[in-house]
Structure formats: C-alpha cells, structure tokens
Structure 1
Amino acid sequence: MSYVSLYVHVIFSTKERRKQIPEDVQPRLWAYMGGIARANKFKAIAVGGLEDHAHLLLSLPATLQVAKAVQLIKAGSSKWMHEELQRPLFAWQESYGASSVGVSQIPATVKYIDNQKEHHRKRGFTEELAMFLKKHGIVPED
C-alpha cells in the first residue's frame, strides 16, 4: 500500500476571462465541483473564486494525476452549467495553474480561497495569476 500526502492549489479561468459565474451561482458551482471530486475519489478541501475564475485546494491520491483531476472538474462543471443552469456558452480556459501545498500551508490556502472577494478588491485575476506563478517558480509559456 502507498501512503501519499499530496495537496495541490489549482487556479483556472473562464474562457477568455469572461465573467460567466454570477455571484448567486457561485456557491452552487463550488459545491458541485466538490461533488465531482468526491465522485472521483479525491477531495476538494476548498473551492472558491469569482465571476471569472476558480480556485481549488485538492487532496489527490497517488493514482491520480493533477491534469486528470482538473480535467474531471472542468468537464463536469461545464456540463452542469450547460444543462442545469441553461448556460450553453459557459466554458473554462484550457490551461490552469497548479502548485503543491505543504500540510502547514493548508489553513492559509483555505483562507485565501475562501476570501477571494476581499483579495480581488486589490488586484484582478491576471495580476493574481502572475503573482501565483512567480511565488511558485513557474515560468509561463507564451
């Protein structure tokens, strides 16, 4: 048996950063994304965001790649937005940002995800993503 502690902070935007997630829809969408994780045997410890992007703190088993977890959540939540909320034009961007999170950083990461509205009073998604990438030593591809 393998013993793994793998926590990943994932960020992705709506397609073309369009504001497609109204405030009244956000709690339902975030909860649905958590349900996708449970149904696929991984955990969404925190899910949040704003009208144009989502943040997730995921706990992944050794058998699941980050890319596959993100694909499951994006595909499932897009389908839900199309079918349940009658939003046929809703789409996520293809790319995403992800970084590992140490156990000691879980509370701060959860707080950050839960307080997205407050964080974005100071900076937009583009600036936030650039800071996230820089903080984690990720060089974006052009």
Structure 2
Amino acid sequence: MSLSLSKVYVHITFSTKYRQNLIDSTIESRLHEYIGGICKSLECNPIKVGGFTDHVHVLCILSKKITQVSLLEEIKKQSSLWIKKQGEQYHNFYWQRGYGIFSVNPSEIKVVENYISNQHEHHSRKSFQDEYIAFLNKYNIEYDEKYIWE
C-alpha cells in the first residue's frame, strides 16, 4: 500500500492537580479554545473541548505524526503556561501528572460530543473521580486507586 491513512478518534481527560476547582468562568471557554488550538497545531483535529472546574475533556482525531504521550505533554505544558499568564490567581496552576485517553468508535462521536458539552449539568450529580473510575471500568483498564489520584 503506497498511501498511509489513519483516522483514530480519542477522548482525553485529565484534571487539575489535586482536583482543585481552578478553572473558573473567567478562563473556562478561553482555556478550551486554547487547548483546541494546541491540538490543531499538532494536526490532531479537535472536535470538542470542554470540562468543569477541576478537569477537561478533549475529543480529537489523533494525528499519525504524534504519539499519545507527546500530544498530552504538549497540551498540558502549553495550556499550563498559558493559564499562569492569565492573572495572579492562576500562578500556582498545575495539571495532574496522569491522564486518561480512550478510543472512540466513529459511530459514537456525537454521543461523546454531547457528553463533553454537558459537563456542568453532568457534574451537578457526579464527581470527576466517579466519572473517571467509570471510564476505567468501561474500558476494562486495571488500576490501583491509590495511584491514580494526586
């Protein structure tokens, strides 16, 4: 085959360090736009970026030119530097070290998009910790809970 083709949808989620509620309404939408821009610059077409006060979700197409870990490193590094420049109250902003990245069936893209769009409503009933554990269980990922939270 002379042509390399790829279309891998991924759903990424990670939280602020210690799940602190640091993503306030002042920066939330700009942060999501900024993260989408990072994805775009890495040729990982962003479909939807959203989240809540203590975490973000990114739905994008993973470029065939970048590894998962490189994508996450760049999103976290660049967005953390950006947030710290948004005001004194954000100077101590950090992301958690870990992350979750999950494959998405193309037929489920709209479901995941809607899920990310409705984070504020969703988290009026469920914490990020419960949400994340549900993802790990859905994808049959083995974990030790004492190592996933920092």
Q: Output the TM-score relative to the length of structure 2.
A: 0.90
How does 1:26-65 map onto structure 2 within 5 Å?
Answer: 26-65=28-67
Distance 2:41 2:63 in 1: 13
Farther-moved stretch of structure 1 (32-41 vs 125-134): 32-41
Report the secondary structure of 1:22's partner residue.
coil
| 1:126 alignment counterpart | 129
Deviation at 1:63, TM superposition (A): 2.0
The two structures, once aligned, show a CA RMSD in angstroms of: 1.1
- Alignment gaps of 5+ in structure 2: none
Would the aligned equivalents of 2:80 and 2:94 in 1 still touch at CA under 8 Å? yes
Would the aligned equivalents of 2:11 and 2:57 in 1 still touch at CA under 8 Å? yes
Report the secondary structure of 1:56's partner residue.
strand
Work out the percentage of aligned pairs sharing the same amino acid.
37
Distance 1:66 1:48 in 2: 19
Aligned-partner residue type, residue 23 of structure 2: I
Report the secondary structure of 2:85's partner residue.
helix
Distance 1:37 1:62 in 2: 13
- Alignment gaps of 5+ in structure 1: none
Does structure 1 residue 95 correspond to structure 2 residue 94?
Answer: no
Would the aligned equivalents of 1:43 and 1:58 in 2 still touch at CA under 8 Å? yes
Deviation at 1:80, TM superposition (A): 0.3
Deviation at 1:62, TM superposition (A): 1.5
Give the number of aligned pairs.
142
Find the partner of 1:68 among 67, 70, 85: 70
Runs (4+) of structure 1 moved beyond 6 Å?
none
